[in-house]
Structure 1
Amino acid sequence: MSAHCHRRQDRRRGSRGPDPRPGRESLMAKKSKIAANERRRLVVARFALRRAELKEIIRTGTPEEKAAAVRELARQPRDASATRVRNRDSVDGRPRGHLTKFGISRIRFREMAHRGELPGITKASW
């Protein structure tokens, strides 16, 4: 097997190292993704009360009421379900590594903690 072939396998595994292009370390999520997520939040809030009522009917109602409630729930928009909302970093919209307690991603948390911008957060030392 030639050296060229090994490089291709390494590339497939994703072990290329950091992105060599300048300025790629602080990427922000696409504006459209952030906007879509905010739109979903509004839809969830608008339908939350009715969804809760329908879920309660499905849980406790008669078979006819349940069937009607399931049909009505199915007619609602998909984005009315709270599970469709994605937790994102409040600063740059990063969708992965979100820390709920702080509302930011793990990377942003680390940067802010090192700069002393998070009160009460210190590096572990033992």
Structure 2
Amino acid sequence: MASKSLIQREKKRQKLEKKYHLIRRSSKKEIKKVSDLSDQLKIHGKLQSLPRNSAPTRLHRRCFMTGRSRANYRDFELSGYILREMVHACLLPGATRSSW
């Protein structure tokens, strides 16, 4: 299980990303519209002044049960190991058992 601090850090990033999403999106649209290089640099400076953790590329998917950041299935939002355990315990309907 992931440490609680990592999970909290990820939640904080999600909040920041939601907070600055519209500002970031509108700034990127402005950069595309403006043809003057000096204006583009001003808008780009505004983008860079936003917090780093508000960038969507800094977000990671995590298993909602364990907080594990690797080997996650998007459909189930579970890590592979937990998914396998749940299938073997017949907790996920429609999933077939397999052993590997």
TM-score, normalised with respect to structure 1: 0.73
Structure 1 residues without counterparts, runs of 5 or longer: 1-27
- Give 4+ residue runs of structure 1 displaced > 2 Å after superposition: 62-65
Measure the CA separation in 1 of the matches of 2:28 and 2:93. 41
State how far apart, in whole Å, the 2-side matches of 1:66 and 1:117 are: 53
Is 1:86 matched with 2:44? no
Identify which of 64, 70, 81 aligns with 1:107. 81
5+ residue gaps, structure 2, are: none
Q: Pick one of 43, 67, 76 that aligns with 2:41.
A: 67
TM-score, normalising length: structure 2: 0.90
Once residues 108 and 118 of structure 1 are traced to their aligned partners in structure 2, the CA distance between those partners, rounded to angstroms, is: 11
Q: Is the 8 A contact 1:57 1:65 kept in 2?
A: no
> For the pair shown, which has the larger CA radius of gyration, 1 or 2?
1
Partner SS state of residue 97, structure 2: coil
| Matched ranges for 1:38-49 at <5 A | 38-49=11-22
1:117 is aligned, of 54, 74, 91, to: 91
Higher relative contact order (CA 8 A, sep 6+): 2
Amino acid paired to 1:58: I
Letter of the aligned partner of 1:33 in structure 2? L
Sequence identity of aligned pairs in percent?
30
Distance in structure 2 (CA, Å) of the matches to 1:103 and 1:118: 13
Partner Cα distance (2:35, 2:16) in 1: 29
